[in-house]
Chain A
Amino acid sequence: MAEPVLEIRNLEKSFGALKATDDVSLDLRSGEIHALIGPNGAGKSTLVQQIAGSLKPDSGTILFQGRDVSGLDMAARARLGMGRTFQISSLAGEFSALRNVMLAVQASAGSSFRFFRPVMRDASLIEPAREALSRVGLSDRASVPAAELSHGERRQLEIAIALAQGARAFLLDEPMAGMGPEGSQALTRFLDTLRAQAPVLLIEHDMDAVFALADRISVLVYGRIVATGTVEEIRNDPAVREAYLGEGA
């Protein structure tokens, strides 16, 4: 089997006495959607932040495309191809949707230290950005400031940005949150096509989406991974049933 795109080994993170991440190891293989689920407070967001580089683990290693990225900051990991969306949308609010995506094209296509050529006349930035917006279905909202987009549109825009970055792996932190049933279904169909481009680590509460999309599922409880497996295996795993349903094992 080919080496995994993203591999996390023995990650540890404590806040005082609380072990938020307790010896976590998991991997993300090319072509798959790997869902990370767990009850509230299990430490999912803390884990994503450590993978993306916005939070420093106490110990452990993160390998991305075979390279140890543990010492790199968020921007450097993003340049290597980690495309991240946020649990609460994080955008440049005054910029239009198009300019938000153009920023990502600019970051992946080369230097930001160009001081004179106007970006709005730079087809090498605009074309790929429009392409990414059209893939997530936001073409007709391209000129609207990000702060004025609806909740669902902001989610779509974040994914368009990750696409435009040329991500080699997607880290999606609860993309379905607050989407409503129709939006969730549309997004589920879209994410299904995303794995052809790059593997997806999907942190999600919406079990319908997870069971519909995931090739593999890992379950995080109190900072520990209690099970990893296919949808079928996880459905029948006694440790998972206990964590979620409180059934005595």
Chain B
Amino acid sequence: MNRETLVNALLILGLLAAPFAADAMGEPFYVTLATRIAILALAATGLNIALGLGGLVSFGHAAFFGIGGYAAGILATHAFNAEPLLFGLPGTNQMVSIWLAAVAAAGMAALLIGLISLRTSGVYFIMITLAFAQMIYYFAISWPAYGGEDGLSIYVRNAFPGTNTMRPMSFFLIAAGLLLAGLAFFALLRNSRFGAALQAGRQNEIRLAAVGIAPFRIRLVAFVLSAMMTGVAGALFADLNRFVSPSMLSWHMSGELIVLIILGGVGRLAGPLAGAIVYVLFEFALGGVTEHWQLFLGLVLLCVVLFARGGVVGLLAGRARHG
């Protein structure tokens, strides 16, 4: 077992063990904190497909996070009020159906945004993904049907067969299960033919085209897959807070998702998880001391970018290796 595998295993075990300990000690708040970590890590793992493997610096992934959140909020609201949604279809309070809806909606949005923004590269791509996410943000604010600026409450957390999702531990296990599935998907993807083409495109676009693989289609599929995973995380996040608002779509959210990856390690399997652990604990520890914790977050982030590239996983496991 090489060092990165060991670091990954320890991070995952740590995430799984901590809530059990907290639950045993009767501290459900820490379970919720771990749930938050798992969900943010899943969202950032989605982004890691586009950004880490493909080198696509999407500054608009909050759009997919928020779309997933609104999918959960809207479906749950329609189910709660027993109003049909579209074409007589009802809403639902079943998480599995909601996840599928979140995947479909985020994927569709990513397809449309990707078709336009992937024609460009570099700074243009960054700004255009940011702008499209902002478009959806303003739409959510000014569209009154689902709460507009005030957001939308989910009165009862959505249901998962065979368990009571209102129990913090149950909901944590659901989120952690999805995170593990997401990490497994990322690991498989990275080592597959598709992953090889995607990573080659990040290293040298001309080389990829010169062997006969068109970068655009590879990137578009990666962008859509990436958005789908972030969308599922958004649906979970809405269920965690039992609330969804335009702030999930805001550009700060997009920035945060990138920050998680940088703190943890770009393109590394457990990078987003390590980043989410550091970020949430930092917020929790410092947020208790000063309301201006974001100032210190900014300083830490600045130091990481300027002096400690490679993030937590890079620090613990050394440089990334490709077979």
Task: Identify the A interface with B (CB < 8 A).
Answer: 52, 54, 73-76, 78-79, 84, 86, 90-96, 99-100, 102-104, 106-108, 111-120, 122, 125, 143, 145, 161, 165
Contact = CB atoms under 8 A, between A and B. Distances in A.
Contacts of B253: none
A125 B191 CA distance: 13
A104 B193 CA distance: 11
Given A94-B203, A111-B193, A115-B194, A75 B213 contact: yes
B323 interface: yes
A245 to B, nearest CB: 36
A115 B222 CA distance: 10
A81 to B, nearest CB: 9
B200 interface: yes
A75 B193 contact: no
Nearest to B218: A112
B199 A92 contact: yes
B163 interface: no
Nearest to A98: B323
A207 B310 CA distance: 47
B209 A112 contact: no
B209 A103 contact: no
B108 interface: no
B304 interface: no
B214 to A, nearest CB: 4
B193 A120 contact: no
A2 B218 CA distance: 38
B323 A96 contact: yes
Contacts of B193: 106, 111-115, 117, 119, 122, 125
Contacts of A86: 206, 210
Contacts of B194: 112-115
Q: How large is the interface on B (under 10, 10 to 19, 20 to 34, 35 or more residues)?
A: 20 to 34
A95 B192 contact: no
Given A75-B209, A75-B214, A84-B210, 16 more contacts: A79-B212, A90-B204, A91-B207, A92-B204, A92-B208, A96-B323, A99-B323, A106-B193, A106-B196, A106-B197, A113-B221, A115-B188, A115-B194, A116-B189, A119-B192, A119-B193
A143 B321 CA distance: 11
9 contacts: A75-B212, A76-B212, A90-B206, A91-B204, A92-B200, A95-B196, A99-B196, A113-B194, A116-B192
B210 to A, nearest CB: 5
Contact of B191 (A54, A75, A107, A119): A119
A165 B208 CA distance: 12
A99 B240 CA distance: 42
B218 to A, nearest CB: 6
Contacts of B192: 114-119
A52 B210 contact: yes
A119 B196 contact: yes
Contact of A95 (B189, B215, B218, B322): B322
A158 to B, nearest CB: 9
B211 interface: yes
Contacts of B203: 92-95
B242 to A, nearest CB: 34
B80 to A, nearest CB: 37
B196 A103 contact: yes
A165 B323 contact: no
Contact of B212 (A94, A113, A125, A165): A165
A76 B192 CA distance: 22
A103 B214 contact: no
Contacts of A94: 199, 203, 320, 322
A9 B214 CA distance: 26
A107 B200 CA distance: 12
A103 B188 contact: no
Contact of B200 (A103, A114, A117, A122): A103
A96 B209 contact: no
B183 to A, nearest CB: 14
Nearest to B214: A75
Contacts of A75: 208-210, 212-215
Nearest to B197: A112
Contacts of A111: 193
A78 B197 CA distance: 15
B212 A95 contact: no
Given A99-B196, A117-B192, A118-B191, A92 B218 contact: no
Interface string B198-235: 01100110111111111100100100000000000000
A115 B189 contact: yes
Contacts of A92: 199-200, 203-204, 207-208
B136 to A, nearest CB: 27
Interface in B307-323: 320, 322-323
